[in-house]
Amino acid sequence: MPYKILTLNSKANLFIDQPGSNYWNDESEEKDKVFNVIAHGFDKIEKSPKYLDLLDSIKLLFKKYKIDIKGSSILSIAAGSCWMECQWLKDSNFEDLTCLDFSKHRIHKLAPFTIEHYDLPGEISLLHGSVFELDLSETKKYDIIFMSQAFHHFDEPIRLLKNMKQFLTDDGCIVI
């Protein structure tokens, strides 16, 4: 197994009872989504203009700002099925990748399936929980913190940015 699967702590289950949070953990709500690669295979997402355009934008952003992935420790917040991370990082020499998502089935079911399919190299950890649950005393610093298509879902964007900054190395960058 090229990855570790973890749940941050028992608090992760408390978020399920919050208004609107059931959606993120209800597999039946997402059965027809393009990123459900177990149900649809990879052809649908690999041919999706939306996701291909987003992937191109991400690659251009990293190139434009000369963000070096080689040897980097990366945290991806709201990583979902990790399809974007697999596409973006498949030909790079990153040090390690930590993918965090609030949806247990996305990060513990879809993400391993995706990572195995694309044979993403490197040390990978898959975390179920909230970015607000990460313990600074136990969490290392990251060179790159990445978030795609998720910032607008956070009720506390300032708190989110402050948390992200705490997990960042001195010369690291946050890419949203």
Angle at CA of residue 164, ends 160 and 165, nearest 5°? 120
Sheet of 142-147, strands arranged across: 3-7, 123-128, 96-101, 73-77, 142-147, 168-175
- The mean pLDDT value for 24-33 works out to 73
- Residue 11, pLDDT score: 45
Residue 172 pLDDT > 80, yes or no? yes
- The mean pLDDT value for 17-42 works out to 72
- Residue 10, pLDDT score: 39
- The mean pLDDT value for 3-28 works out to 53
Lookup: tokens for 157: 């964007």
Q: In a 3-state reduction of DSSP, which class is residue 162?
A: helix
- Residue 9, pLDDT score: 52
CB-based burial of residue 103 (10 Å sphere; 0-12 exposed, 13-18 middle, 19+ buried)? buried
- Residue 137, pLDDT score: 58
- Residue 31, pLDDT score: 79
- The mean pLDDT value for 151-166 works out to 87
Residue 32 pLDDT > 60, yes or no? yes
Closest alpha carbon to 164 in 175, 155, 153: 175
- Residue 25, pLDDT score: 64
**Side-chain half-sphere of 24: how many Cα atoms within 13 Å?**
24
* Stated pTM of the model: 0.86
How do the residues of the chain divide into helix, strand and coil, expressed in percent and rounded to 5? 45, 20, 35
- The mean pLDDT value for 101-106 works out to 89
Label residue 77 by pLDDT band (50, 70, 90).
Answer: very high
- Residue 19, pLDDT score: 45
Label residue 134 by pLDDT band (50, 70, 90).
Answer: confident
Residue 22 pLDDT > 70, yes or no? no
Label residue 154 by pLDDT band (50, 70, 90).
Answer: confident
Contact 98, 74 (CB under 8 A): yes
